[in-house]
Structure 1
């Protein structure tokens, strides 16, 4: 199964539209900006909020908490690195490996790959494909990709 995440280019805030593999709108993300950070609210196609990605303040490098269903599920923080982005991830017991700079990476639960994420090039705005086998990983995988993108954008 796949999800396609497309960033809205002509938007004042970070906004994304998320489609299933048949091109049907499934989720959307709308940002809420604050003086010292922002929050990304994730909604299903019926406009029900399913989660939020909140920037943690007073951190040296960008850090975000991931909430799903009103419960904090984990955190991602960008780390100092010379050649390519590096992250500390405490989310769903997952481990992430790959080429973060090229946005091609895999998510593992234990030693088993659960999600493959790739960035599509030559699009207006960021476009990502999330490939997963278990439908239970859909929302968590989507939230992880959005949090990593937010951490990258925060440093630009």
Structure 2
């Protein structure tokens, strides 16, 4: 399953539209006012199905992931030099990425790809292509991509 992740150009808070390979809206992501980033994910019918919440007052950035109101895991940045490293506390997943943070893979505990993420350059807003190998992990992978993008925005 392929998802196209596009940030909206004009919005007060982080807002994204997520499309499938046919151009249909699959998810809508809306930022909410809070300390740190808070992104709420809605399905195409407008039902809230997930949330990414930045924990504030932590030494390194940390984002908690909620699916249908239930905590499922978190993403935290690790101390590293030259390239950023992230720890995913969910299903044994981990990230393998590039120096520029534009292309990376989310891998399961056996090292198999759950999702591959690439940033499309030369767009007015952040635009990513997420290739998810198993459709049941599409929302989970999307929420971790949103957390990584929010962490990168926090650094700028």
Give the TM interval when normalised to the shorter protein.
Answer: over 0.9
Distance 2:148 2:73 in 1: 12
**Mapped pair 1:82 → 2:81:** yes
- Whether the 8 Å CA contact 2:36–2:54 is kept in 1: the answer is yes
Q: CA deviation at 1:55?
A: 0.9
Superposition misfits of 4+ residues, deviation over 4 angstroms: none
> Structure 2 unaligned runs (5+)?
none
TM-score normalised by structure 2 residue count: 0.93
Report the TM-score, using the length of structure 1 for normalisation: 0.93
Post-superposition Cα deviations, 1:103-153, rounded to whole Å, max 9, x if no partner, equal 211111122222111111111111111112211111111111001101111
The answer as to whether partners of 1:73 and 1:92 remain within 8 angstroms in 2 is: no
- Cα offsets for 1:84-106 (capped at 9, x unmatched): 22212212321110216232111
- Unmatched segments (≥5 aa) in structure 1: none
Assess, with a 3 A threshold, how the Cα gap between structure 1 residues 22 and 67 changes in structure 2: closer, same or farther.
same
1:150 is matched with 150
Contact 1:40 1:54 in 2 (8 A): yes
Q: 1: distance between equivalents of 2:142 and 2:116?
A: 11
Q: 2:40 maps to what in 1?
A: 41
Where do residues 42-81 of structure 1 align in structure 2 (5 Å cutoff)? Answer: 42-81=41-80
- The structure with more strand, counted as a fraction of residues: 1
- CA 1:135–1:100 in 2, change beyond 3 Å: closer, same or farther? farther
Structure 1 position 128 matched with structure 2 position 111: no
Matches of 1:90 and 1:100, distance apart in 2:
22
CA distance in 2, matches of 1:5, 1:78: 22
Aligned length: 155
